[in-house]
Structure 1
Amino acid sequence: MRYLVTGGAGFIGSHLVDALASRGDEVLILDDLSTGSRQNVQHLIDSGGVELIEGSVLDGALVDDCVRSVDRCFHLASAVGVQLVIDHPLDTLLANVNGTQNVMTAAARHDRWLLYTSTSEVYGKQERTPLTEDSDCVLGPPAVSRWSYAIAKAFGEALGHTLHSEGNAPVVMTRLFNVIGPRQTDRYGMVLPTFVRQAITGRDLTVFGNGTQMRCFLHVSDAVHALLLLAEVEGCAGRVFNVGSTEEVAVIALAGRVIDRTGSPSAIRLVPYAEAYGPGFEELGRRRPATGELETATGWQPSRTLDEAIDQVAAYERSLAEQDQNLRLVG
């Protein structure tokens, strides 16, 4: 089988490409390397069977050529990360709306199966717990850049549902909840690599707000396993599935676990949201998924623990930091 993975040089995408290549599938990666890295997939390219095209999903002609040349598509390319979304709201909208439209319409044109990765952010301010796939999406005002990512991803889901219902393409949609693991960058506000990088260099761990906000973190290998199962099981097209852990942890508790597991002397420092992201930023107190739909459809269960993820991210970040002569490691 030959797959297209858009965003395949990124964090989740590169792990998905790893898994596909390991079972003998051919993979074509389309990635503009704006947030991904060739280093994440160079070992696969060198081994053969994996090709990287450095280009954008905004290039409709290129996307069409890529989709036509494969059997199935995973669409992961996206502008992601709270800091990136706030700093570059227009780029976020263009990549996540126009790029997704290009990929989905190409899949429909060439009758290709497609899996689209959406986000738990589409639930917005919804306070229902646990969040089920039919929970209302309660988004903030479009003028607030905080919500541009969620609005764009919700558009992608709507387009996927429409293409599927009209018989144009079999589209599976997933909502990912706080996926973590090696290769995730700390550049765009991702909490675990940020905490780990701060801890191993002896800096204060910066927790935004009061730290009591609850999140569920899923190891990237478990997320990839879910995506692969959804590609194999019949009857998943036209549906949306939550993909996440149901184990909740407060962000301030996560910071403490990172300090403990890295042996760091770092302290925890609370930073007001307004200082971190500007006035008017809205954060959700709790976001826990119900994963029954995914479990029933595929038999999926997560197998990795949060502590495993912390340890692996710490090892990965140390390996990167050791290459930087300007950083002094502790712990």
Structure 2
Amino acid sequence: MAPFDSVTARLILLLAETGSIGRAAEREGIASSAVSRRVSDLEARLGVVLFDRSAHGVKLTPAGEAYAEGCRTVLRAIADLDAVMADFGSGHRGSLRLACTSSALTGRLPELLARYAGKYPGIDIAIAEMGAAKALLALDEGRADVAIVSDNYDFTRFDIRPFEDERIWVLAPPDHPLSAQIEPRKSLSFDAVTPHAIVGVHHSGSLDRLLAEAAAKAGRPLDEALRVESFPALVRMVEAGFGIGFLRSTSLHLLAGTDLVCAPLAETWAMRQLLVARRKSSPLSAAMKSFIQLCDETYLPSA
């Protein structure tokens, strides 16, 4: 059986509608002989007669009626498929797989995703929360389309753009010796905080790496009293008096309901960015393109 020929199928339906080879040929802008040849070739392949021919024109046989109905079904399916693909191509349908850090999820990402989902309800969004290194690995292995991660990694293989500015803050209990140096709207030098015991978080995470590198450059290793694996746990341990802690500005909401005091670090290295990253070699789907465009449109650089 030869493959389905949509051109011939449309001619069959046009012949059924007009009852005339001449009128069908005129409507399609082709020669009558070309129409006759297509129908004859199809009948030969199928081994059936599709039309009764007479001086008055052509009329579908019972076999022709069945074939014409099948043509309508297939052509409708093709039209529906084109419409579905057009939706995917326009970004109104599809999927978006995000790999992002906890900092991204405590910043503006949830509100942006809600806006994106409202604008593109046909796109399925899958979110995987993980460390920045694992998120970039997920991009490399094709398990994620887009990653939102901190900026202190090797991005050679990735296309990147800013997502959100963030600063590192130090926090302390109100009765801690450091709290006397924390004043509203004033930054604090890293040298002022390094003599104090700290509560560490996420070994080898981006914040941990950043602080360790800064301490190494200053020649003053951090005195880590203990380590936790989440920022809410860090806040609780600082509240309990185990030491001072560090948070990104995107996580400062975790201090709500506590009496902890905080201040931004003064050093330029403490002003960081979250980045939107994607693999340079990956095809840019409409869903990815529309998400990245929304990220660009809503990004507000710090003053």
TM-score, normalised to structure 1's length? 0.19
Structure scoring higher RCO (CA < 8 A, sep ≥ 6) equals: 2
Q: Which has the higher strand share?
A: 2
Larger Rg: 2
TM-score, normalised to structure 2's length? 0.20
